Amino acid sequence: MLTGELRSQIDRVWNAFWTGGLSNPLTVIEQMTYLLFVRRLDELHTARERQAELGKQSIREPIFQPGQDELRWSRFKDLDPEVMFRLFAREGGVFDFMRNLSNGNSAFSKYMKGATFMIPTPRLLAQVVEMLSNIDMADRDTKGDVYEYLLGKIATAGQNGQFRTPRHIIRLMVDMVQPTLDDSICDPAAGTSGFLVAAGEYLRERHGDALLRPEVLDRFQGQFMGMEFDPTMIRIGAMNLLLHGIEQPDLRDVDALSEANKAFHDQATLILANPPFKGSLDSDAVDASILRVVNSKKTELLFLALMLRGLRLGGRAAVIVPDGVLFGSSKAHQQIRQELIERQKLQAVISMPSGVFKPYAGVSTAILFFTRTDSGGTDRVWFYDMQADGYSLDDKRQEISENDLPDILRRWQNLTAEKGRKRIEKSFFVPVDEIRENNFDLSINRYKEVEYERKVYDAPGVIIERIKEVDKIECIILRVAKMR
Mean of per-residue pLDDT scores for the chain: 89
Three-state secondary-structure class, residue 184? coil
pLDDT digits (tens, 9 = 90+) for 282-320: 778 899 999 999 999 999 999 999 999 999 999 999 999
**pLDDT tier at 160, thresholds 50, 70, 90:** very low
pLDDT of residue 471: 78
Whether residue 136 is found in the same domain as residue 227: no
- Residue 41: inside a domain, yes or no? yes
Whether residue 144 is found in the same domain as residue 99: yes
- Range scoring the smallest mean pLDDT among 32-46, 303-317, 333-347: 32-46
Whether residue 256 is found in the same domain as residue 128: no
- CA–CA dist 454, 457 (Å, integer): 10
Residue type, 46: T
**pLDDT tier at 346, thresholds 50, 70, 90:** very high
Q: What is the CATH number of the domain that holds 104?
A: 1.20.1260.30
Among candidate residues 94, 124, 148, the one where a domain is terminated = 148
User: What is the pTM (predicted TM-score) of this model?
Assistant: 0.88
pLDDT of residue 168: 95
Whether residue 177 is found in the same domain as residue 297: yes
pLDDT of residue 103: 55
- Inter-CA distances, 310 with 188, 303, 304, Å: 9, 10, 10
Nearest to 176 by CA among 352, 444, 419, 413: 413
pLDDT digits (tens, 9 = 90+) for 427-482: 999 999 999 999 999 999 999 987 766 677 778 887 787 887 887 887 877 777 77
**pLDDT tier at 21, thresholds 50, 70, 90:** confident
Three-state secondary-structure class, residue 347? strand
CB-based contact 84:122 (threshold 8 Å): yes
pLDDT of residue 3: 80
- Residue 43: inside a domain, yes or no? yes
Whether residue 123 is found in the same domain as residue 200: no
pLDDT of residue 13: 84
Nearest to 429 by CA among 324, 326, 348, 322: 348
- Residue 363: inside a domain, yes or no? yes
- Residue 69: inside a domain, yes or no? yes
- Residue 482: inside a domain, yes or no? no
pLDDT digits (tens, 9 = 90+) for 233-247: 999 999 899 889 898
- CA–CA dist 187, 307 (Å, integer): 9
- Residue 107: inside a domain, yes or no? yes
pLDDT of residue 161: 42
Whether residue 168 is found in the same domain as residue 143: no
- CA–CA dist 327, 444 (Å, integer): 10
pLDDT digits (tens, 9 = 90+) for 72-115: 999 999 999 999 999 999 999 999 998 887 655 556 777 887 78
Whether residue 212 is found in the same domain as residue 358: yes
Q: What is the CATH number of the domain that holds 343?
A: 3.40.50.150
pLDDT of residue 350: 98
- Residue 156: inside a domain, yes or no? no
Whether residue 264 is found in the same domain as residue 352: yes
- Residue 154: inside a domain, yes or no? no
Whether residue 240 is found in the same domain as residue 267: yes
pLDDT digits (tens, 9 = 90+) for 103-144: 555 567 778 877 889 999 999 999 899 988 888 777 778 888
Whether residue 271 is found in the same domain as residue 388: yes
Whether residue 46 is found in the same domain as residue 112: yes
- Range scoring the smallest mean pLDDT among 204-218, 231-245, 399-413: 231-245
**pLDDT tier at 484, thresholds 50, 70, 90:** low
**pLDDT tier at 1, thresholds 50, 70, 90:** low
- Inter-CA distances, 4 with 293, 381, 425, Å: 50, 45, 41
Nearest to 187 by CA among 110, 249, 248, 109: 249
Whether residue 334 is found in the same domain as residue 261: yes
Number of domains in the chain: 2
Host domain of residue 313: 163-447
